Amino acid sequence: MHKLLLSTSVGAFALLSFGAANADELVTLQKDPKQWALPTGDYANTRYSSLKQINTENVGKLAPAWTFSTGVLRGHEGAPLVVGDVMYLHTPFPNIVYALDLNDSGKILWKYEPKQDPSVVPVMCCDTVNRGLAYGDGKIFLAQADTTLVALDAKTGKLVWSVKNGDPSKGQTSTAAPHVFKDKVFVGIAGGEFGVRGHITAYDVKDGKEVWRGYSMGPDADTLIDPDKTTHLGKPVGKDSGISTWEGEQWKTGGGTTWGWYSYDPELNLIYYGSGNPSTWNPKQRPGDNRWSMTIWARDLDTGKVKWLYQMTPHDEWDYDGINEMILADQDMGAGVKRKTLVHFDRNGFAYTLDRVTGELLVAEKYDPAVNWATKVDMDKNSPTYGRPQVVAKYSTDKNGEDTNTQGVCPAALGSKDEQPASFNPDTGLFYVPTNHVCMDYEPFRVSYTAGQPYVGATLEMFPAGRVLGDKTDNTGNFIAWDARAGKIVWSDKEQFSVWSGTVTTAGGLAFYGTLEGYLKAVDLKTGKELYKFKTPSGIIGNVITYEHAGKQYVAVLSGVGGWAGIGLAAGLSKSNEGLGAVGNYASLSNYTALGGVLTVFALPN
């Protein structure tokens, strides 16, 4: 078994020298800044590039070099891949894949368009987004909306194999990018608003054979949790922890879906990801901690066995999905000791720094001062509530109960940050984070479960955080620099709208991100000063990437407004009778931008 071969190899990142050629290839590819071969840039999800042809001195001269229309109007999340001379680009439903020739201004080398039953469309909550492709073993992997995972020959676009990962008639869909780590491709499942029980599945890159599947809740045999060895905050979790904190059979429709970004530490052979909200949004209907929704997971790559877990929001009452990316960075956590850390900016408004070897909680601090649903996370190891958020009663939708409107909760359900990934820059040692600055009223009520039908159970209304803070501001986004050792904001740039775009940072001293109005922006890593902006054809909810081709550095981003941002913000958020702040009338997104998927590629002029 080649699995054995892999796990016995010495863990050193640079010294991987086992048989699987494809694993070698990915390690090499992600170290080459000329390419962008993984949806997350690298295994560690740093989204950092050592390219510096474009830098703080010359970025002001940046200009579009070429553009490409995807032919699709829906919301465009994710980013293309660049492998060698080819760019691979995905679209939202119908999930077209294009291979574009970088030697010929993006000429189409091949195109793949799956045939999918459109009945999957209405079970995709919040637009028909897709967050991109993965590359490995000479193949391009696409997780279609209808949960079919396909492997395409990277050279020709021909289908090599395909496998069905879920059932859309039960509300199971795919929105996330697949991830290739070593010799396996990993996919999750979406549908937390349809009572789907989340899982992550590993398939063999060669033939699509299922290697393992781990559920977010249920018996230990389903979750792959070892009651004696798997730990939560340093203690073994005990038998069937994925059932014992639920009432009756509620875990079967328990949510905890897995639609975010995954990371991998080859030395530890562990993969990391987060699970989403428990279903329904009405907390009264599901008493208990609802383990293991809202959890950071560390699983063995080869077996799926869980090494450790950390549940951030036990018994969620606000839809604070825990799916955001886990960034693996080695940081000096005091006394000059470098630790292998994991940094995670959760929807719940806390940024967590953990020891990724053991799962020990090191830092948990608010990364938006507006966050009010909890005072803090209990960091006292001897406390019975160690590791738990200290929920403020007034903002507890469970305590206030069904049919009561809990008002002024920050953040809103879309979180202080959603899926749009942050970047870690090793040169500054800081994290650069696209955030939301939005609060909400939340009213849970009773719902009944029907397979394949929405299972939401709460009404919410969102508004700029300034309404709760009473500070006369009306911005709904910030772009921030974060110190994950101290748990402190270093600087914060206001954005009129939620920043719903993934960031890339570079050795050129720059952070790039997109805005919902459609601007691609470059800011100085040290100060946050805006050095460049350009208005692309539509609002940006995609992630910025950078690569080099024929001696030139490029920056690329998909525009195409939509997604949850497009739904929530299209018409603006303020009450009709509110004249907030200096701008007076909080403007609606639809005054700035319209639909349309376009890739814009930037470079310095010759």
Partner 1 sequence: MRLSLTGALALGVIVSVGAVAHAEAPGDPKAVKSVDGKYFDAKGDPTYNVQPDGTVDFYTFSGYRRYHSECHVCHGPNAEGSTYAPALKDSVKRFNYQEFAGIVIGGRENKTAGNESVMPSFAENKNAMCYLDDIYIYLRARSTDAIGRGRPEKKEEKPAAFSEAEAKCMSAK
Nearer to partner 1, 74 or 184 (CB): 74
Positions in 570-589 near partner 1 (CB under 8 A):
570-577, 588
- Sheet with 231-232, strands from edge to edge, namely 235-236, 231-232, 306-311, 295-300, 270-274, 263-265
Say how many residues touch partner 1, by CB under 8 A: 50
99 φ, ψ (degrees, to nearest 5): -105, 120
Nearer to partner 1, 5 or 571 (CB): 571
Cβ 407 to partner 1 shortest distance, Å:
9
Structure tokens at 297: 């997971």
In this chain, which of 448, 470, 582, 606 binds partner 1, going by CB under 8 A? 448
Give the separation between CA 326 and CA 450, rounded to whole angstroms: 33
Is residue 121 involved in binding partner 1 (CB under 8 A)?
A: yes
Cβ 159 to partner 1 shortest distance, Å:
22
Give the separation between CA 260 and CA 347, rounded to whole angstroms: 12
Is residue 284 involved in binding partner 1 (CB under 8 A)?
A: no
Positions in 159-198 near partner 1 (CB under 8 A):
193
Is residue 443 involved in binding partner 1 (CB under 8 A)?
A: yes
Beta strands 504-506 and 48-49, pairing class:
parallel
Nearer to partner 1, 115 or 235 (CB): 115
How many beta carbons lie within 10 A of that of residue 548, not counting itself? 18
Cβ 276 to partner 1 shortest distance, Å:
15
Nearer to partner 1, 358 or 453 (CB): 453
Is residue 72 involved in binding partner 1 (CB under 8 A)?
A: yes
In this chain, which of 34, 74, 179, 286 binds partner 1, going by CB under 8 A? 74
Give the separation between CA 371 and CA 273, rounded to whole angstroms: 23
Structure tokens at 38: 């993984």
Nearer to partner 1, 303 or 590 (CB): 590
Give the separation between CA 492 and CA 442, rounded to whole angstroms: 28
Cβ 583 to partner 1 shortest distance, Å:
17
Structure tokens at 280: 């329904």
Give the separation between CA 165 and CA 146, rounded to whole angstroms: 9
Nearer to partner 1, 314 or 597 (CB): 597
Query: C-alpha angle with apex 536: 531 to 539, nearest 5 degrees?
Result: 105
361 strand-pairing partners? 354
Beta strands 541-542 and 77-78, pairing class:
parallel
Give the separation between CA 79 and CA 478, rounded to whole angstroms: 21
Is residue 445 involved in binding partner 1 (CB under 8 A)?
A: yes
b/e burial code for range 448-461 (CB count within 10 A of at least 16 → b):
ebeebbbbbbbebe
Is residue 285 involved in binding partner 1 (CB under 8 A)?
A: no
Nearer to partner 1, 72 or 233 (CB): 72
Nearer to partner 1, 12 or 571 (CB): 571
Is residue 457 involved in binding partner 1 (CB under 8 A)?
A: yes
- Whether the CA torsion 451, 452, 453, 459 is positive or negative: it is positive
Is residue 125 involved in binding partner 1 (CB under 8 A)?
A: yes
Give the separation between CA 415 and CA 224, rounded to whole angstroms: 29
5 strand-pairing partners? none
320 φ, ψ (degrees, to nearest 5): -90, 65
Is residue 128 involved in binding partner 1 (CB under 8 A)?
A: yes
Nearest Cα to Cα of residue 176 among 420, 387, 392: 420
Is residue 458 involved in binding partner 1 (CB under 8 A)?
A: yes
Nearer to partner 1, 43 or 395 (CB): 395
Nearer to partner 1, 202 or 440 (CB): 440
Cβ 417 to partner 1 shortest distance, Å:
20
Length of the chain: 606
Cβ 135 to partner 1 shortest distance, Å:
25
Cβ 412 to partner 1 shortest distance, Å:
11
Cβ 85 to partner 1 shortest distance, Å:
27
Is residue 447 involved in binding partner 1 (CB under 8 A)?
A: yes
Is residue 89 involved in binding partner 1 (CB under 8 A)?
A: no
Is residue 595 involved in binding partner 1 (CB under 8 A)?
A: yes
In this chain, which of 33, 41, 75, 411 binds partner 1, going by CB under 8 A? 75
DSSP H helical segments within 197-303, as ranges?
A: 220-223, 241-244
DSSP H helical segments within 175-272, as ranges?
A: 220-223, 241-244
549 strand-pairing partners? 552
Distances in Å between the alpha carbon of 396 and those of 165, 343, 388? Answer: 36, 26, 14
**Catalytic site residue from 319, 321, 346, 368:** 319
Is residue 405 involved in binding partner 1 (CB under 8 A)?
A: yes
Is residue 561 involved in binding partner 1 (CB under 8 A)?
A: yes
Q: Is 319 a catalytic residue?
A: yes
The single residue listed with the structure tokens 């606000």 is 318
Structure tokens at 466: 């300034």
Is residue 460 involved in binding partner 1 (CB under 8 A)?
A: yes
In this chain, which of 387, 454, 509, 537 binds partner 1, going by CB under 8 A? 454
The single residue listed with the structure tokens 């009010």 is 372
Give the separation between CA 382 and CA 380, rounded to whole angstroms: 5
Is residue 94 involved in binding partner 1 (CB under 8 A)?
A: yes
Positions in 33-52 near partner 1 (CB under 8 A):
none
Is residue 459 involved in binding partner 1 (CB under 8 A)?
A: yes
The DSSP element (H or E) to which 360 belongs, if any, is none
Cβ 255 to partner 1 shortest distance, Å:
15
Give catalytic residue positions.
319
Residues that bind partner 1 (CB under 8 A): 71-75, 93-94, 118-119, 121-123, 125-128, 193, 405, 441, 443, 445, 447-448, 450, 453-454, 456-463, 561-562, 566-568, 570-577, 588, 590, 595
